[in-house]
Structure 1
């Protein structure tokens, strides 16, 4: 039987021979060769590289297993200690330059597949011969081997020797047919089948590890690190998917390459997910009566009077270190749960936003009937998820009346204010139009706002 080193040498030779046999291989760089190669040739090269990588990982795992054995802390002079490293993965990461995670994977797989000896020193085969054979022949990747070995270890206390042998053979066979993600899902479900009573303790342990933390960065942004338990993640994903998925199908105008800039959503999936989460939280604040467990849920925004009037300057969210722009503070002030605290030149409070600034519930209901939700073309956010926005800002003298108000979802409210859009109404027909800024449309062609469908 060929060792993985022999197979690796053979596959590397075949790969090199294929490249050397390509036209102009003796004069062109590899990038130039690939650019001029046929699809079939490029795919063949990728497949051969995959074989080489799998066999190289097999050899690396075997070497790592030996380094792990020689670095055992029970030895008189462990290898890792003699080299000034903490453990075998650290030795491998230092020697090979790979990431520590990859080095740990090599060590884990190599240790689990290493040969054994009896008490009198006689050699024994690997505890997992099917996985070992698949890895050494290059048919099983290191990642698949690690997932299978982890599953076998979890199942071991609850299965017979025969069950484990059959499961190992089954999983190695599945690894040849399933993508790694599907194999991982399959392996994740198996321990519960052998130990159905063990899922509840694991759930409790997962809940105990669940955590939410916020990290402040120097650039004024924040990161959240969430460790979910399965139940909480399921609820969160359902809520986010419901908020993110479109409720109607839109079609692109073939005469407008790339779609109308007014309708095209340029947000990444991560940005859409964040906006959905913020929208859910905003709804929670809006639904609260103003007091939650004895704590006021109103958000305070402090802003100088000059910044409020001009839209130029900064404001501060109470409890958040980073500043926000005055324009953002003015837009946030459209929400009844966000209260601007206006400061004079000496930073003394002049006024807590009054009812003149906010649209009344009756006005919001009237706009809901008129607008039917966010008025932006292509957006179908309902009135409950929209903000009552002033067309002419209140701080600039715009009245808080229905004719100067419009419903916009938070995302399009930002676009309306920050990108320079405008809204115009035909006095004869009452038809309203969104006017794009010149950088979106040099002609500033009006986009008609379709009235909501009203049942007869």
Structure 2
């Protein structure tokens, strides 16, 4: 096993300290004495070294997994070590959780499936006419993920959430001609590969949870028929179960359908938003309520429980203002209708496609607010009549941004404030959509008080400038962006007509 000195040599910031980091104890004292920037550098460099070791571990795990399948019986690699499965062996050796060990096995096996170093889009298309006797090999859509993992652009966890989120592409059957059926299926799998590459480019700017949600959202766009079926399955599986545990405590378990889950989370978010760092309130009465909620001694879990019980008690007679204040809770569904009549729907505060039937039902209850956008998804300007963005403009910002645009932030649109990138007084800033951006309260305050600034050239991406002069693009988090972004309209691009 490598000594600590050999390991520390892989981290330049530690290596430069020489004998001061000859042991783990000495390194601890040295890191404690470092500046914030140096400590961050140690973290980055150590993570880079770990990535190389992780690559080797994945190869070993993948080989063990392929040699431990059930058909290997007791002669399998894991079984020889006294374990029922490869995941069990990995869990024992690495000391990881069962879920993490299973993830390593899935990714390890997937990493062994492609040709090292070749991008999927560079692979030659299988041509049965060149060799009629050659067996058809379907396009391997996972290759962009393998290349990105080998290059260190995504982690094992990111590989797993993208792969599982996109899922296996649907097979197109019912075509008699083998070559035509193969071409159509290759086209569909190539669409999945393109989606994987798009998600790889976003991996550095998204949390793991958000990356998985984006992958599922793109899958629903690519496979609208499957999305409809998955929606129905979740609806059919909805349940509410109550039981008494061994201590006599009554407990409950809920399996939500899509709309129910969005409704409950929206109710809770609206009630607890001030406590969770939501938008600041302008109204003095609302400010007092927000302070009272923040000072409440109950935990968030207790507050959520009391809220649900209060709602059940009040039922349909409850006055929403008494419960939520002026920011009343509600589920906002968004539907995109392109020039060809294709319709795509999703919930504003969450990624995931919504079937047309649910959209139509919601319209009957709530009506619609039309928002026109340009070809890049930018809502049209409204003007400089007032200092604050109007409710309609807020809807437009939520459609475009999908939540806080700050890199790595996962706050939804309902938790965000509208920031003018041009100062109202100093720059004569207009309250226009293209000069506004959604930021959560924390990042909005960080921007104003931490020396950061945001700029934008016309309709290009917003640019975040840190105090040190580094510039990075702020990408939109909205599910809707996939409908008009690099992926193109899914019904036209990914679901080709079959002659």
Give the alignment's TM-score, normalised by structure 1: 0.51
How do 1:15-414 and structure 2 match up within 5 A? 15=11, 18=14, 21=17, 24-25=20-21, 29-75=26-72, 77-115=75-113, 128-155=142-169, 157=171, 159-217=187-245, 221-245=249-273, 248-250=286-288, 264-284=295-315
Q: Secondary structure at the match of 1:160?
A: helix
* Gaps in structure 2 of 5+ consecutive residues: 116-132, 173-186, 275-284, 327-499
Residues of 2 paired with 1:88 and 1:225: CA distance? 32
- Aligned equivalents of 2:251 and 2:191: distance in 1? 45
Give, in angstroms, the shift of residue 132 of structure 1.
Answer: 1.7
Structure 1 residue 11: Cα displacement = 8.2
Distance 1:283 1:94, change over 3 A: same
CA deviations on 1:33-56 (whole Å, 9 max, x unpaired) are 333210001111121233234333
Evaluate the alpha carbon distance shift between residue 52 and residue 220 of structure 1 in structure 2; reply closer, same or farther with a 3 A threshold: farther
**Alpha-carbon deviations, 1:357-378, whole Å to 9, x = none?**
xxxxxxxxxxxxxxx989xxxx
TM-superposed deviation, 1:104: 0.6
8 Å CA contact 2:165, 2:212 repeated in 1 = no
Q: Is contact 2:78–2:85 with CA below 8 Å preserved after alignment?
A: yes
Please tell me whether the aligned partners of residues 62 and 105 of structure 2 are also in contact (alpha carbons under 8 angstroms).
yes
Q: Aligned to 1:140, what secondary structure does the other structure show?
A: coil
Q: d(CA) in 2 for partners of 1:170 and 1:96?
A: 32
* Alpha-carbon distance between aligned partners in 2 of 1:228 and 1:96, rounded to the nearest angstrom: 35
Residue of structure 2 equivalent to 1:388:
none
Structure showing greater Rg: 1
For 2:297 and 2:153, the matched residues in 1 are separated by 42
Equivalent residue for 1:323?
Answer: none
Q: C-alpha distance in 2, partners of 1:90/1:174? A: 32
8 Å CA contact 1:65–1:107 kept in 2: the answer is yes
Pick closer, same or farther for the CA change 1:12–1:215 going to 2, 3 Å.
Answer: farther
Distance in 2 (alpha carbons) for counterparts of 1:103 and 1:47: 24
TM-score (norm 2): 0.47
| C-alpha displacement of 1:137 | 2.6
Considering fraction of residues, name the structure with more strand.
1
Is the 1:12–1:52 Cα contact (8 Å) retained in structure 2? Answer: no
Q: How many residues align?
A: 274
Q: Residues 163 and 11 from structure 1, CA distance in 2 versus in 1: closer, same or farther, beyond 3 angstroms?
A: farther
2-side partners of 1:244 and 1:169: how far apart?
37
SS at structure 2 position matched to 1:84: coil
Deviation at 1:217, TM superposition (A): 4.5
CA RMSD for the aligned pairs? Answer: 4.1
Report the Cα distance in structure 2 between the residues aligned to 1:152 and 1:380, rounded to whole angstroms.
39
Q: Is the 8 A contact 1:89 1:103 kept in 2?
A: yes
